[in-house]
Structure 1
């Protein structure tokens, strides 16, 4: 198979990149190892961008989900550190279908249940990828490859330099986890209790009961968790947990496993087993200690492990912690992002979740060093461990996917290297899509 552009990874980032490129008339192949799109957003049951969607394709898709009852309205979550504007969770099953439909309507060729073994690089330039499926080993040629694998798999296999986690001797990375859902929860009773307790310091609780289906978000339960562990002898790995609703179901973000090398099949598998142990324990905790859960039961456990951090591919510019905290102006910015600062301490302490001023992501963070006709998008862009606390979140991943898709299309149109793409042209296209480029363009 031959295409103008190949996108590796159909998670949160890849479909946006593929749609953006295909809508400019380019032939695009999107390759996904599972049988549906969305990754952690859908399969992983994460469902919620940790921040606002400020424009472009990401906002278009969320508005489409809202129009069919698959997402609620944005809400303001409050915590000790202030307010955080958050796009409401989506219904993961509806989102799977919407992402696939938009890809099909744009002309994207999706290859499900297909694993990309490696990129093919000749004379320092990507020529395509080798894929594995039930048909065996095959080749897909392209003019531009976009790595949306989340782990920077294509960049690493093309010998692009990268940094693991914080880049220290212990390769410190944010922990892995696994979402699960519970049904038969009395959500109104839970919301009424949460309004009265001081054990849930971070919250978004709608005033109207009809808004609870998508608008309830609760983080805390620290005191209740400590007491539960003292009483039962069960050891858990988080000081707080988060509950949220989507389409009336209760989604639980509670499990955590520290120090996992996700590139080790054994360690990865052991982490899945540990998450199952914790799912069982947290479900018991909620049923026994939290009002509204008296008749609840586990409905679904994510079939994929949620991985927050692995490789940071080294690009022409590395986004720094200073950049995402202070929000400097970048001439070559391709997205202004309003994601929260969301740090799961690698050593196991409390989660640091804070709303902050918008920051900008330079195009150079998407252009890896040393290889031509390769772009990176999603959580593996060129960013340090501190910047990753914001750039790993879904709004940023979708924004970099959109920019990479447009830049790849421009490179094909103009017959140039992605490294030489005129950023002002990409910015103009993004503005036409309603995407803010600079931080001062977000209210």
Structure 2
């Protein structure tokens, strides 16, 4: 079928096919892919980004916080494009910066989801990245351990896109696995994966009333240029005082259900509390079922909030338009980030950045969230080797599907680390394309020096 489609192309369409050739192909336009494609293009590489949705920005467009830039001891370790996005958002009112929060993290970085989408789109356009929306990867061509092309279903049919270097920022390792990379899915022993969720966006709220009624710790407070009075922008709570209603109406599967709130506005707020368990985010039927269940669940939650929780009386509610998947595949890389690497805050000679958000695991059976601190100075390194599949030479994986244990993945999967990995992967892929080398043979020192020049590292790297 694919061959017949190629044979039917007109001369004009064959020219278009050549436009699909590039130096670096990035698959996935979430936060990881945005950073990766921008970094590759800024490095001088002709870059194409494939995104299955009709917008870029991924989970950040739902309004979730960009966790986490600063360690529990107050040292910022996330910079580069990740910080640039926050700075640009602050200028247009879409962020309030890194706000101190005296709970399970040192500080939080809330953003406005729609403005994040706008800024991400602008960032890619300014870097001259070609973005193909509505593009789904359906396979790869591999020869001698190297990808020679990626097949994508796009408007008008199937196209083969050829690149010198490939970046898998799909979240599910779709490209790497299609090319033959080995992987683990979910917990290595049970196969269970963390539940999927959907953010509930609430408008016309009184956020101070909400915090006063439900917060279990002191909220993070911020101001805006157009609203100088401090207001709560992040807090977590529990629905314990409404357990009887929750049982009666079956709002949640468990009592004392935890809930997380964030915003950059005094009268809009995002609620992160929904969960559907037993979902495989790589199975289209399973993920579609989750989308239906979560949309219905958020409607029940919105009615519960409006009727019972102070601050929601005059609100109206909009469910996010897609389900957020926490965990699916993780590649088998040249190195696997271990539980101990996280708990001791390990540093690596081939580091490409640091992670400081604690391990965040939502129980696969109950949906309840638990947090585990990072040891040592509150940060651990991301080794370059954990992003390189063992048996595919010209691809680098970035984001939540890198090589890590299920426990370590509870930290690596978050958006600030994904931005760091994305930028590093973009620079690495551009360097590999420029020098015609495979990813495992890339000059790590050259990569690190380039990242340091761009401000991804601040000062000298820490090694042991």
Please, what TM-score do these two structures have when normalized by structure 2? 0.87
One of 179, 200, 205 as aligned partner of 1:158: 179
Per-residue Cα deviation, 1:315-355 (whole angstroms, up to 9, x for no partner): 10001121122111200000012223211111215312456
Q: 1:48 Cα deviation (Å)?
A: 1.0
Matches within 5 A, 1:359-378: 359-378=380-399
Q: SS at 1:263's partner residue?
A: coil
Q: SS at 2:406's partner residue?
A: coil
The question of 1:295 aligning with 2:314 is answered yes
**Contact 1:340–1:353 (Cα < 8 Å) also in 2:** yes
**C-alpha spacing 1:84/1:124, structure 2 compared with 1 (3 Å):** same
**C-alpha spacing 1:237/1:38, structure 2 compared with 1 (3 Å):** farther
The question of 1:172 aligning with 2:192 is answered yes
Matches within 5 A, 1:319-334: 319-334=337-352
Please, what TM-score do these two structures have when normalized by structure 1? 0.91
The question of 1:84 aligning with 2:101 is answered no
The question of 1:224 aligning with 2:246 is answered no
Residue 267 of structure 1 is matched in structure 2 by: 286
Residue 3 of structure 2 is matched in structure 1 by: none
Structure 1: runs of 5 or more not aligned = none
One of 53, 69, 74 as aligned partner of 1:52: 69
Residue 25 of structure 1 is matched in structure 2 by: 44
**Contact 1:243–1:253 (Cα < 8 Å) also in 2:** yes
Q: Flag as ranges the 4+ runs of structure 1 deviating above 6 A.
A: 211-214, 437-441
Distance 1:213 1:177 in 2: 30
The question of 1:70 aligning with 2:94 is answered yes
Residue 272 of structure 2 is matched in structure 1 by: 253
Per-residue Cα deviation, 1:126-162 (whole angstroms, up to 9, x for no partner): 1121111121011111000100000000011111100
Structure 2: runs of 5 or more not aligned = 1-19, 71-77
**C-alpha spacing 1:428/1:206, structure 2 compared with 1 (3 Å):** same
Q: 1:211 Cα deviation (Å)?
A: 6.4
Number of residue pairs matched by the alignment: 429
**C-alpha spacing 1:358/1:115, structure 2 compared with 1 (3 Å):** same
Q: 1:439 Cα deviation (Å)?
A: 10
Matches within 5 A, 1:116-127: 116-127=137-148
The question of 1:100 aligning with 2:121 is answered yes
**Contact 1:313–1:368 (Cα < 8 Å) also in 2:** yes
Residue 352 of structure 1 is matched in structure 2 by: 370
One of 53, 56, 59 as aligned partner of 1:40: 59
**C-alpha spacing 1:208/1:121, structure 2 compared with 1 (3 Å):** closer
The question of 1:343 aligning with 2:367 is answered no
Q: 1:183 Cα deviation (Å)?
A: 1.3
Per-residue Cα deviation, 1:218-258 (whole angstroms, up to 9, x for no partner): 21224134232135454435721112223341101011011
Q: SS at 1:190's partner residue?
A: helix
The question of 1:133 aligning with 2:154 is answered yes
Residue 75 of structure 2 is matched in structure 1 by: none
One of 7, 12, 25 as aligned partner of 1:6: 25
Matches within 5 A, 1:185-204: 185-191=205-211, 193-194=212-213, 200-204=215-219
Residue 325 of structure 2 is matched in structure 1 by: 307
**C-alpha spacing 1:308/1:373, structure 2 compared with 1 (3 Å):** same
**C-alpha spacing 1:227/1:439, structure 2 compared with 1 (3 Å):** farther
Distance 2:144 2:231 in 1: 51
**C-alpha spacing 1:99/1:236, structure 2 compared with 1 (3 Å):** same
